[in-house]
Chains A and B, each alone.
Chain A
């Protein structure tokens, strides 16, 4: 019932969006906007928004009341979720995130209705409602003329899983429990990260709409004034979203770093870069009434990039290319139409008007702010292009190979590095020229002596101190430092005269600081014990030979710690595994480890506490997935990044839950009082070729060995030996024993003959008790083994990551700079608006 109402309200919203779109179109058809028709547009735009809000409210209600007969509720939630995550579940799936996107758009576009003057309002709203029309079509989920449009968030579970026996026998079956929110998403970051992205996506439609409106109405200049603060706002939102995503990935998701050139990350980076290019050309346009063409183009491209990346990430095209899982909801065609429509309408109108667009008669001299700014914007554009090419590998790559993989990260790094250098240097040149007129090149060059000399000195010092030996990195570092110094000089001067105008310089400094921080990622190094370091060096030299006589090519990147046995790591820290505790802190079965670090020279101690937890909601019966939350020790020059890759405790817990089929049962066991203990009882059952681990012992049952007549005990009917290999990981000894199992016929009875077999290096024995004929498993009893289990070990991945704090600092400076600029531009625009009104 609620679902029907929900679907109905989305359909009404969809129809209302069409009406408002048509109304805005008709209203702006003539030179003078028709206010009456425009009002109809507003009315239906409001209706559309209200209906989407209503439908979203219904979905949230369904989620909070756990109505698992709805597929969306079943698929993304479960009864154990706290209200925070229930709320986030609203946009955890594609359908919900489209709704969120539409809602953000609706709210932001209300601002356009309120604050845009008559010239542009109606046509701008036309293009904005056009984008909303496409987005709404993704979620209505109705069939029109045999074509199914969109995927409704109100689909029923029974319809979705109609093929399952449980629904075939009982179509009214309602699951008692949902399949739960992905464990990786159960983090407070999910509350804030997606909404910020979608506010950014929604805002980026505004410069797009303004650009198209200006092309339509042939008013090519004034649009940038109202569009400018929104573009800044969109870029600020994308920046914050990118930062939150990077920080989330780094701090809690153990992706290993804050950036991986993953398509989903690129999806918000490319529009951000294009938005940046647009912001700069708009500034030129404001200042000198040139570069209209570029401003229009970048405004169109920035939004087209958002839609294109949405297409890539949501259509299933990226399949194997990303660590993120992409769901193909069957929206491929609709998404394709969306991106084609945006590109064709955008670029089509641009090309159609191209000849008419204002152009300059004389070219700008090389050292003019117009030219330098334009060069900077072009560099940004090319950077965005490169990243788009890389992200499009599943499509463009087919030119080269049949099943293209994503490019190696080096592709992105190599190609963006030179542009980063150019852009960094241009920021300084442009800033100097922007605020001061120079009579000659010499005078300009004279101004640049101070920042150049200072930056050179700092770079040389940094190179000496850090031992950077890559020439490109040196140039890059110089460019970044030059940008910090140069922009700081300009900022210092501005602070004295026009402090409100420092937004630009602050963002440039932030950008340059960010560039310096990025360099750190090139020097991420695993931290290891001396033995492993030596081993890796030997591998590097090709001196390590494997069992089959081939040189080993793989390095070891983790080290093992035994409880309370310190290891010297990187010749720098004594690292000790102190403790592991099952805390259940945030989820059932969560484990917290205590790893103690002691600086070898200073004796200073600190502790790191990585987590390890079972992802119950993500796992299938019998195969528990575990994941980690790293522990990060943030430092001024570098971070220590540590996570657990496995431990004796995890293996024990895994064994306890291995046979359970439902996740409630798993959770119950994980929470019970035997948590963390051995579940062993001296007996092991192993199939041939398999091994099991008990404490520090790896026990492998290699094969059966048939016994000769001569070996058999007297009166034996049949006998067999089992080749058992025991590997003591702690002592690093391996030995093989062959206990006997035989049946003896005595006094009319079959008696099992299975003597205790002792180990050379161990103080316990093994008895080959039985063969389970059905499974070929052997039943082995280890007598006295349990007392010898003393191993508590943990595998540690530890990395030194330089300059991560610098990256965060740069990001904050960028955000700060953007905010200053938005405040200033917003008040500028308001003043303009008032002046126009009073005229």
Chain B
């Protein structure tokens, strides 16, 4: 009995610590461009696409580039190594995942947060009174 309990406790403690340690390493932090620039590491940056700045897909380099404003108000160019994701125009916010280098954010993964259908007033805002 004793031995089993000891083994059990050791296992539980070991398992939990290892799990949490690895979990801590597996998650990142949503940050802004300035921190991404500062650390140079891989980051998740949340922001909004700036529609009136140039954007487009470069067919030579196969890179989709656009400007994004993060939640702190910083604006940077983002270069995404895939074509423009679906729903891009529709997104209420974007999460770009990648690295900052020399003022440009190089992203290889992007989450496009679609506006919930909730409170979708787009038809009503333009409705004639």
Could you say which residues of chain B place their CB within 8 Å of the CB of A693?
56
Known contacts A164-B125, A662-B123: A618-B90 contact under CB 8 Å: yes
Q: A556, A645, A646, A691 — which one has the most chain B CB atoms within 10 A of its CB?
A: A645
**Which of B24, B46, B62 is within 8 Å of A400, CB to CB?**
B24
Could you say which residues of chain B place their CB within 8 Å of the CB of A408?
26-27
**CB nearest neighbor in B for A400:** B24
- Residue A431 lies at the interface, judged by CB distance under 8 Å to chain B: no
Do A554 and B27 have beta carbons less than 8 Å apart?
no
Measured CA separation A645–B82 after assembly (Å): 9
**Which of A161, A169, A560, A619 is within 8 Å of B89, CB to CB?**
A619
Do B87 and A405 have beta carbons less than 8 Å apart?
no
Known contacts A619-B90, A625-B89: A646-B23 contact under CB 8 Å: no
Do A75 and B120 have beta carbons less than 8 Å apart?
yes
Do B117 and A182 have beta carbons less than 8 Å apart?
yes
Measured CA separation A4–B121 after assembly (Å): 24
Could you say which residues of chain A place their CB within 8 Å of the CB of B115?
325
- Residue A349 lies at the interface, judged by CB distance under 8 Å to chain B: no
Interface residues in B100-129 by Cβ distance below 8 A to A read: 101-102, 106, 108, 111-129
- Residue A102 lies at the interface, judged by CB distance under 8 Å to chain B: no
- Residue A196 lies at the interface, judged by CB distance under 8 Å to chain B: no
Task: Provide the A398-434 mask, 1 if CB < 8 A to any CB of B, else 0.
Answer: 0111111111101100110000000000000000000
Known contacts A179-B122, A325-B116, A646-B57: A406-B127 contact under CB 8 Å: no
**Which of A407, A548, A628 is within 8 Å of B26, CB to CB?**
A407
Measured CA separation A797–B128 after assembly (Å): 43
- Residue A2 lies at the interface, judged by CB distance under 8 Å to chain B: no
**CB nearest neighbor in B for A618:** B90
**CB nearest neighbor in B for A553:** B106
Task: Provide the A154-182 mask, 1 if CB < 8 A to any CB of B, else 0.
Answer: 00010011001111011001010101001
**CB nearest neighbor in B for A179:** B120
Do B127 and A627 have beta carbons less than 8 Å apart?
no
Could you say which residues of chain A place their CB within 8 Å of the CB of B24?
397, 399-400
Do A161 and B121 have beta carbons less than 8 Å apart?
yes
Measured CA separation A102–B79 after assembly (Å): 47
Measured CA separation A239–B4 after assembly (Å): 35
Do B124 and A175 have beta carbons less than 8 Å apart?
yes
Interface residues in B69-98 by Cβ distance below 8 A to A read: 79, 81-84, 86-90, 93, 95
**Which of B26, B56, B119, B128 is within 8 Å of A411, CB to CB?**
B26
Do B99 and A558 have beta carbons less than 8 Å apart?
no
Measured CA separation A615–B120 after assembly (Å): 15
**CB nearest neighbor in A for B21:** A400
A117 smallest CB distance to B (angstroms): 38
B104 smallest CB distance to A (angstroms): 8
B49 smallest CB distance to A (angstroms): 10
Do B116 and A628 have beta carbons less than 8 Å apart?
no
**CB nearest neighbor in A for B126:** A661
Do A405 and B83 have beta carbons less than 8 Å apart?
no
Do A550 and B101 have beta carbons less than 8 Å apart?
yes
Do B62 and A405 have beta carbons less than 8 Å apart?
no
- Residue B7 lies at the interface, judged by CB distance under 8 Å to chain A: no
Given A323-B112, A558-B82, A729-B60, 5 other A-B contacts at CB below 8 A? A399-B20, A619-B89, A625-B90, A628-B86, A689-B54
Enumerate 17 A-B pairs (CB-CB under 8 Å) in ascending A order: A75-B118, A75-B120, A160-B119, A173-B129, A404-B28, A407-B26, A408-B27, A555-B81, A557-B81, A557-B82, A560-B59, A620-B89, A623-B90, A624-B89, A625-B90, A691-B56, A729-B59
Question: Which residues of B line the A interface, CB within 8 A?
Answer: 1, 4, 15, 19-20, 22-24, 26-31, 44, 46, 51, 54, 56-57, 59-63, 79, 81-84, 86-90, 93, 95, 99, 101-102, 106, 108, 111-129
Shortest 3 CB-CB distances between A and B: which pairs?
A: A623-B89, A554-B81, A411-B26
